[in-house]
């Protein structure tokens, strides 16, 4: 059924269609609308049978999901930003225990300085936690990925994060097609755990493993993630056959075949990028887009194949490894090892700064002319940071990074076009 | 003619294994049908109070639940010594997740069982004092506040024994630990409020809170049995001496637990919905000295000179408990 609804509501409807049995949540912007909608659906009996647990922290939220999943229930939670970091220990634990929990990440920046707006720092900080990570481009895909996520998680016995841009997607009203319960039931079978906390067949879960077997356990975790590289395209294909539309997969290409310059990105910014690329292609520019849909496991082979003929790759990243550079670009360089394709990192949209068509067009023209630096920051107020740096050279005092730059930017009141 | 008095076991005491008692009154451990939830072969130290307490508590819960229960264990000695991969001592469905999340994991297990319609399966979470009064305290308070259907049992040995005897918020005043060394002008742990979790649990007005010790195992069993039958959040705090951490003889575990309760330092009571319903009277009052001097962690109170001032403060804490819980009726 077509509906004009908020992204969070669409995700809640998708989760409900997946028949979750335990939902636990601790509120954090911009995840709140998802768990509010779900609490209502549980209260009214639209999701049944299901337990909705209001917990006292994100650490407890995921811990409740861990217990529920180990006891055989399909478990779901959602979080963002500080919340994901607060539950970090349990994030690693859930994957180590092989529990197929699905968790929505309403992507948001991490403080300090505190910032509630969108970027990918949260998901990226936990990218090596053993979870699968899927990134949604729009609200329809966010909805669809949740349905795929439960199937994927339970097939591999691994937890899955469905990442969607906070506010940009979670709070945007868009038309989405909500599938029928029958259709979802035909795609997603009930959860059948491999191992269960059951008095009739007692097992010990979570024993201590020493040096004699720890490496093997980690190897198996890696092997399972590599299995996902084969399974994710299969599930995406099955999904499209069942639901009549494309969603998910490892990567998706947009005019990238034969393009000299390929823009790589993940998440909602892809829509804006495609608009700008359309305009430039209309002028005859050789430019295309590669969307990363699955960030963990990272599809090295698929990316390499897709980009092998490119002359230049530009990665638009909504996150940044401080002191090192681009996180996605790093993985790309690994995928392109030996191919000698220049790979540029563009850090954009941190802490909710809009990534506009105007800025992207300017950026892409620079890239097409061959003048793009290895690492650049879209719409950076270079003057303001230079003044702060100059000031810091003169005054040797420790203190927060934010104060002076905020003052500088307010003083010059830079307008972002 | 010399004669030797014949001693009979007395009914009416809490003597474990008392086979003169009525079948129904006998301890779980006295029955051949006991569950052996925590079987032998685990790697606890000789004289471990926690292993003893956990075994009695779990067997009693198995008995009370008709073997329909799931256990969630916080990280700590109990977890480490019972499940070194690929071995396990547990004869019950058992799960270890993290140090600080056992109450929340147990909540999740209980929720799953409820959804599955298995309300007869009882959920127990357990951990040491570090996992309970410190790192797991937030999750525990949340579980209490929601009144989740979980029985949480804390085995309190008054410090982080698994990591090598560091101070926890349950470490008593003046006790020497690896992080409160017996050095300087005020050796050992600081004198402060400490954290007596049973009273904090009571403040949540949950259906059942009790304390127990390994000196009175029948009492522990009875409390676990009662708590297993109740619904909602329940809490039992068990004092379990640690020979290693307390610097005491392995053979003194029971004696130390008894001296802790008989001195008033560790009151034994039950509380329902936040009100004390029953306190176990002290049978033979002893001064705190008797408890303290058997342990190397308090040696600095007695050598080179007797620190009467600080011992008096500890005695005052015991006296306060005696008064507060009416331990000398």
Answer whether residue A234 is part of any domain: yes
Within this chain, do residues A43 and A168 fall inside the same structural domain, yes or no? Answer: yes
Answer whether residue A59 is part of any domain: yes
Segment 337-396 of chain A within 8 Å of chain B by CB:
none
The mean pLDDT of chain A is: 96
pLDDT tens per residue across span A335-363 = 999 999 999 999 999 999 999 999 999 99
Backbone angles phi, psi at A19, to 5 degrees: 55, 60
A132-141, A192-201, A356-365, B302-311: least confident range? A192-201
Read off the pLDDT of each residue in B232-239 and give the average, rounded to a whole number: 98
CA distance B152 to B235: 5
pLDDT tens per residue across span A192-235 = 998 899 999 999 999 999 999 999 999 999 999 999 999 999 99
pLDDT at A280: 98
CA distance B254 to B206: 30
With bands split at pLDDT 50, 70 and 90, how would you rate the model's confidence at B7?
A: low
Cβ neighbours of B108 in A, within 8 Å: 22, 24, 53, 63-71, 73, 75
Structural domain count of chain A: 3
Within this chain, do residues A292 and A402 fall inside the same structural domain, yes or no? Answer: no
Answer whether residue A417 is part of any domain: no
Note whether A71 contacts B90, CB cutoff 8 Å: no
Within this chain, do residues A233 and A291 fall inside the same structural domain, yes or no? Answer: no
pLDDT at A401: 75
Read off the pLDDT of each residue in A280-295 and give the average, rounded to a whole number: 98
In chain A, the percentage of residues whose pLDDT exceeds 70 is 99
CA distance A278 to B233: 60
Note whether A213 contacts B85, CB cutoff 8 Å: yes
Prediction ipTM score = 0.95
Domain that holds residue A317: 251-377
Note whether A70 contacts B105, CB cutoff 8 Å: yes
Within this chain, do residues A192 and A313 fall inside the same structural domain, yes or no? Answer: no
CA distance B205 to A142: 42
pLDDT at B329: 84
Answer whether residue A392 is part of any domain: yes
The CATH number given to whatever domain includes residue A358 is 3.40.50.920
> For the domain B26-324, what is the CATH superfamily, name and number?
Thiamin diphosphate (ThDP)-binding fold, Pyr/PP domains (3.40.50.970)
Within this chain, do residues A364 and A389 fall inside the same structural domain, yes or no? Answer: no
pTM for the full predicted model: 0.95
Spatial neighbors of A176 by CB under 8 A, at least 6 apart, are A2, A3, A5, A10, A139, A140, A143
Is A272 in contact with A303 (CB distance < 8 Å)? no
Residue identified by tokens 């795609």 is A187
The tokens describing A283, both together, are: 């002028």
Answer whether residue A81 is part of any domain: yes
Q: Is the dihedral of CA B219, B222, B228, B233 positive or negative?
A: negative
With bands split at pLDDT 50, 70 and 90, how would you rate the model's confidence at A417?
A: very low
Read off the pLDDT of each residue in B193-201 and give the average, rounded to a whole number: 91
The CATH number given to whatever domain includes residue A68 is 3.40.50.970
Does A51 contact chain B (CB < 8 Å)?
yes
The tokens describing A87, both together, are: 């539950």
Within this chain, do residues A194 and A283 fall inside the same structural domain, yes or no? Answer: no
Read off the pLDDT of each residue in B253-275 and give the average, rounded to a whole number: 97
CA distance A17 to A6: 17
Note whether B105 contacts A63, CB cutoff 8 Å: yes
pLDDT at B14: 54
Which of helix, strand or coil describes residue A295? strand
pLDDT at B18: 62
A114-128, A144-158, B103-117, B183-197: least confident range? B183-197
Within this chain, do residues A361 and A404 fall inside the same structural domain, yes or no? Answer: no
Please write down the HEC assignment for all residues of chain B: CCCCCCCCCCCCCCCCCCCCCCHHHCCHHHCCCCCCCECCCCCCCCCCHHHHHHHHHHHHHHHHCCCCEEEEECCCHHHHHHCECCCCCECCCEEECCCCCHHHHHHHHHHHHHHCCCCCCEEEEEEEHHHHHHCCHHHHHHHHHHCCCCEEEEEECCCECCCCCECCCCCCCCCCCCCCCCCCCCCCCCCCCCCCHHHHHHHCCCCEEEEEECCCHHHHHHHHHHHHHCCCCEEEEEECCCHHHHCCCHHHHHHHHHHHHHCCCCCCEEEECCEEEEECCCCCCCCHHHHHCCCHHHHHHCCCCCCHHHHHHHHHHHHHHHHHCCCCC
Within this chain, do residues A92 and A10 fall inside the same structural domain, yes or no? Answer: yes
With bands split at pLDDT 50, 70 and 90, how would you rate the model's confidence at B113?
A: very high
- Closest approach of chain B CAs to the CA of A239, in angstroms? 28
Q: What ranges do the domains of chain B cover?
A: 26-324
Within this chain, do residues A96 and A236 fall inside the same structural domain, yes or no? Answer: yes
């Amino acid at each position: 059924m077509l509906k004009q609804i908020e992204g969070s509501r669409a995700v809640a409807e998708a989760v409900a269609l997946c028949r979750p049995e335990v939902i636990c949540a601790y509120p954090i912007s911009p995840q709140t609308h998802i768990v509010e909608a779900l609490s209502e659906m549980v209260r009214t009996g639209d999701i049944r049978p299901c337990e909705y647990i209001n917990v006292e922290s994100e650490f407890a939220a995921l811990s409740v999901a861990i217990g529920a999943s180990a006891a055989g229930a399909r478990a779901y939670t959602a979080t963002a930003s500080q919340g994901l970091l607060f539950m970090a220990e349990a994030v690693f634990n859930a994957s180590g225990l092989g529990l197929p929990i699905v968790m929505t990440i309403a992507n948001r920046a991490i403080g300090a300085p505190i910032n509630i707006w969108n970027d990918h720092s949260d998901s990226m900080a936990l990218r090596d936690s053993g979870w699968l990570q899927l990134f949604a481009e729009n609200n329809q895909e966010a909805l669809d990925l949740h349905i795929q996520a439960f199937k994927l998680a339970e097939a591999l016995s691994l937890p899955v994060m469905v990442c969607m841009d906070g506010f940009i997607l979670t709070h945007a009203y868009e038309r989405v097609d909500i599938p029928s319960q029958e259709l979802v039931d035909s795609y997603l079978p009930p959860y059948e755990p491999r191992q269960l906390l059951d008095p009739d067949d007692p097992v010990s879960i979570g024993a201590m493993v020493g040096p004699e077997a720890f490496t093997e356990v980690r190897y198996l975790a890696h092997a399972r993630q590599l299995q996902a590289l084969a399974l994710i395209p299969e599930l995406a294909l099955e999904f499209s056959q069942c639901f009549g539309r494309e969603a998910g997969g490892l990567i998706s290409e947009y005019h990238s075949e034969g393009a000299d310059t390929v823009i790589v990105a993940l998440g909602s910014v892809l829509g804006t990028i495609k608009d700008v690329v359309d305009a430039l292609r209309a002028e005859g520019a050789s430019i295309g887009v590669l969307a990363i849909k699955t960030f963990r496991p990272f599809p090295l082979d698929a990316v390499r194949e897709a980009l092998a003929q490119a002359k230049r790759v530009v990665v638009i990243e909504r996150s940044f490894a401080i002191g090192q550079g681009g996180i996605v670009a790093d993985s790309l360089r690994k995928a392109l090892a030996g191919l000698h394709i220049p790979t540029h990192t563009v850090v954009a949209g941190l802490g909710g700064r809009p990534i506009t068509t105007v800025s992207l067009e300017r950026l892409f023209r620079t890239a097409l002319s061959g003048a793009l630096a290895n690492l650049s920051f879209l719409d950076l107020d270079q003057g303001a940071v230079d003044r702060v740096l100059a000031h810091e050279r003169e005054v040797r005092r420790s203190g927060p990074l934010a104060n002076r730059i905020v003052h500088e930017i307010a003083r010059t009141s830079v307008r972002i076009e | 003619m010399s004669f030797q008095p014949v001693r009979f076991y007395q009914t009416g005491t809490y003597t474990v294994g008392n086979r003169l008692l009525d079948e129904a009154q006998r301890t779980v451990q006295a029955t051949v049908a006991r569950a052996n939830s925590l079987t032998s072969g685990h790697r606890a130290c000789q004289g471990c109070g926690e292993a003893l307490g956990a075994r009695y508590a779990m067997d009693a819960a198995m008995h009370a639940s008709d073997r329909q229960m799931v256990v969630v264990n916080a990280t700590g000695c109990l977890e480490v010594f019972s499940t070194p991969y690929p071995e396990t001592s547990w004869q019950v469905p058992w799960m270890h997740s993290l140090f600080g999340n056992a109450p929340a994991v147990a909540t999740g297990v209980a929720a799953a069982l409820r959804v599955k319609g298995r309300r007869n399966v009882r959920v127990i979470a357990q951990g040491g004092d570090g996992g309970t009064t410190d790192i797991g305290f937030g999750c525990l308070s949340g579980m209490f506040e929601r009144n989740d259907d979980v029985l949480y049992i804390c085995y309190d040995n008054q410090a982080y024994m698994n990591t090598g005897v560091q101070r926890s918020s349950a470490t008593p005043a003046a006790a020497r630990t690896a992080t409160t060394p017996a050095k300087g002008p005020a050796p050992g742990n600081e004198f402060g409020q400490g954290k007596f979790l049973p009273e904090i649990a009571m403040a949540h007005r949950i259906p059942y809170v009790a304390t127990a010790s390994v000196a009175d195992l029948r009492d522990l069993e009875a409390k676990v049995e009662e708590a297993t039958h109740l619904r909602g959040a329940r809490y039992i705090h068990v004092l379990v001496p640690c020979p290693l951490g307390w610097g005491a003889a392995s053979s003194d575990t029971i004696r130390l637990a008894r001296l802790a309760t008989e001195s008033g330092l560790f009151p034994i009571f039950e509380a329902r919905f936040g009100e004390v319903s029953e306190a176990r009277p002290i049978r033979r009052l002893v001064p705190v000295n008797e408890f303290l001097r058997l342990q190397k962690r308090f040696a600095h109170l007695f050598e080179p000179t007797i620190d009467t001032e600080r011992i008096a403060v500890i005695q005052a804490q015991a006296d306060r408990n005696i008064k507060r819980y009416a331990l000398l009726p």
